[in-house]
Chains A and B, each alone.
Chain A
Amino acid sequence: MTKGSQFCHERGRPFLEARALGKTYDVGGSTVHALREVDFTAAQGDFIVINGPSGSGKTTFLNLISAIDRPSHGEVRIQGVSTNDLNERQLATLRKEKIGLIFQTFNLIPVLSAAENVEYPLLLQRLPKSERMKRVQAMLDEVGLLDMAGRRPNELSGGQRQRVAVARALITRPKLVLADEPTANLDSETGGRVMELMQRLNEEHCVVFIVVTHDPAVTPYAQRKIRIHDGTLNEGADA
């Protein structure tokens, strides 16, 4: 596995920092600590794989660093800006411009075709139609779905949907991609192609990948491995 690349000159520069990050939930009058005082740093060009048992806090951690949830305490800084200081609109802009999300359950928009789902983030960025079409075609080609462009999600298999979700996350060339079980619904060959695509983007464009997975086939792509257990992070431990 290639770790680092000649194309990425910004590698190693801090991109995301979490300081004393914590999340608590009030469940039936008692406080549940989903994440406890976590310190974490991701530098540009990092490819990080996170694993841990169910209920260990993986999804909570992803939600907080992707700015779709707010911490109970501590903070997340993305390129030096604390998400605590941003309002809802600014958080949406941050997600739109810098973060790509891959959901375990695909979360495709059912009324849009595969190509339109991939195009959606570009519509939010108000890119011209010609530019959108060019990028969508290239991205669908990349994930091997060019011939499925016009199909709706319900006309695609689980693996094809996941590839559309991956294409949608990568289409805006985000600086940070957070993926929740990106290969869970893919066969080993397709899973390998998706991981190779991620790796290429990581190497060529310094995209930070933080992947939550139980798939052992993903682990070899990792530059850093983190295990979450009971809401705490333990770097370097394998699942």
Chain B
Amino acid sequence: MWWIPLRSLVRNRRRTALSIAIVALGTAISFFVYGFLEDSRLQIQASTVSEYGNLQIASPDLWEDTADGYEYLIEPETEAQVRTLLASHDGLTGITEQLQFPGLVAAGNETQVVRITAQVPENGTLTSDGFVIDGRPLQSTDVAAVLMGRSLAARLDVGVGDIVTLTLTTVDGAYNASPLQIVGIYGFSSEQVELRTLFMPLTFAQLLLNTAGVDRLIVNLSSIAATDREVVSIQQQLDQAGLALEARPWYDLSPIYQQLSGYFDILFGFLTLAVFILVFFIILQVLTLAFLERTREIGTIRALGTTQGEVFRQLIAESGWLAVLGSLTGILVGGLLGAGFNAIGIKWRPPGTVEASLLSVQITALTMLPPFLVGVAATLLSAVFPSIQTSRLRVVDALRVE
């Protein structure tokens, strides 16, 4: 009897088309916005992983900021132990060390508080090489060299080849200072990063700080999706080896990612709710009227022996067809809109950033599914009340309706 509800839909083409259009509109809007938010989320994910690696291993004191001075540093023997443990993991594509510390950089009369990220040049795992927009990346032969953000270079009015002075405190608490030559200028999406972060070779930074240690090991994996699994596995190995170190995934290292991701979830939640309410109430009205017009027909099939439950199922099946057809149409329309939007290639520079990023809509099965389910659920739920009401009509009353 599955075809009877479908026939009922075909009977009143105008009303069916209107219902499908309403469901489709809600689903299309939902799909477009969700696809856009997911694309933004993926871009931020990729950017965050390129900035932090898939996971980092460091002392809990570093993560919690509870260390006295540089107590959190990982000494070379410990680092060697960790590297041995990590060698057994297949999904790892690279490991490198990093040492971050605060300092003051000065050029002429301008001084700026900065955070230095000391890294192994040409390590192949996590470098700032890809961000260089002027000059060159750091090289393994560099000593007193620095890579400076374009916003800081502009503020200090310096460029490639110029010398700046870095002042810092060593791990023993003594003051130290050194001239550094700017070998390259990098650009980043965040102006704050460009202003606050300098990159320099790890060995020279260790020399300036008077230490052989590093503050973290950065691990890259073959896929972002493997992060959680590897974090758990590595942590178990660290614990078994008795090392007081903690592995943290990339999303825990970036508060901005967490905030933005949460914001996207809230945004999509509100949109979903709005679409749900819109579709729910309009379809409720349409179906109530449609079922009302068929009161006599419902009375007839009840008189012929159709049970209330069978009538209810027929009406719900009819709404099910509407829900599926409307949601599929919505996904198709939303997908076409998204493809058109992607083809235009609109760029936008978010506040606090220095580079415009390409706005696009993710069109994948994963971004189609939630809006599709929202469309189907809203339509089916809106059908429940009128279907119950209609199926419970007294047969004799329904037959009297002209």
Interface, chain A (partner B; CB < 8 A): 63, 66, 68-69, 88-89, 92-97, 99, 101, 103, 107, 109-112, 120-121, 123-124, 168
* In the complex, B352 has a CB within 8 A of chain A: no
Which positions 242-301 of chain B face chain A at CB distance < 8 Å? 296-297, 299-301
Most buried by A among B11, B304, B309, B396: B304
Contact indicator B304/A95 (Cβ below 8 Å): yes
Cβ–Cβ contact A111 & B303, under 8 A:
no
Contacts A107-B299, A111-B7 supplied; 16 other A-B pairs, CB < 8 Å = A63-B396, A68-B395, A68-B399, A89-B309, A93-B305, A93-B307, A95-B305, A96-B305, A107-B300, A110-B297, A111-B11, A120-B304, A123-B1, A124-B305, A124-B306, A124-B310
Instruction: Tell me, rounded to whole Å, the shortest Cβ–Cβ distance linking A100 to chain B.
Output: 9
Complex CA–CA separation, A69 to B396 (angstroms): 6
**Is the C-beta of B18 less than 8 angstroms from some C-beta in chain A?**
no
| Chain B residues, Cβ within 8 Å of A121 | 304-305
Give CA–CA (A89, B310) in the complex, Å: 10
Number of interface residues of B (CB under 8 A): 24
Known pairs A111-B4, A111-B10; A95 contacts B303 (CB<8 A): yes
Bound Cα distance from A207 to B184, whole angstroms: 101
Given known A68-B399, A124-B310, contact A97–B305 (CB-CB < 8 A): yes
B48 at the interface (CB under 8 A from A): no
Question: What is the bound-complex CA distance between A112 and B294, given in angstroms?
Answer: 14
- B308 within 8 Å of A by Cβ? yes
Interface residues of B in 286-341 (CB under 8 A from A): 296-297, 299-310
**Cα A89 to Cα B307 with chains together (Å):** 6
Known contacts A111-B11, A112-B4, A120 near B301 by CB under 8 Å: yes
Q: Nearest 9 CB-CB pairs, A to B?
A: A96-B305, A111-B7, A69-B396, A107-B300, A68-B395, A95-B305, A92-B307, A111-B11, A68-B303
**Is the pair B7, A96 in contact by a Cβ cutoff of 8 Å?**
no
Q: Check A112–B296 contact: CB distance below 8 A.
A: no
Cβ A88 vs Cβ B307 within 8 A: yes
Instruction: Return chain A residues, CB-CB under 8 Å to B301.
Output: 109, 120
Contacts of A94 in B (CB 8 A): 305
A118 CB to closest chain B CB, in angstroms?
A: 11
B7 touches A92 (CB 8 A): no
Write out the residue numbers on chain B whose beta carbons fall within 8 Å of the beta carbon of A88: 307-308
**Pair A69/B395 contact, Cβ less than 8 Å:** yes
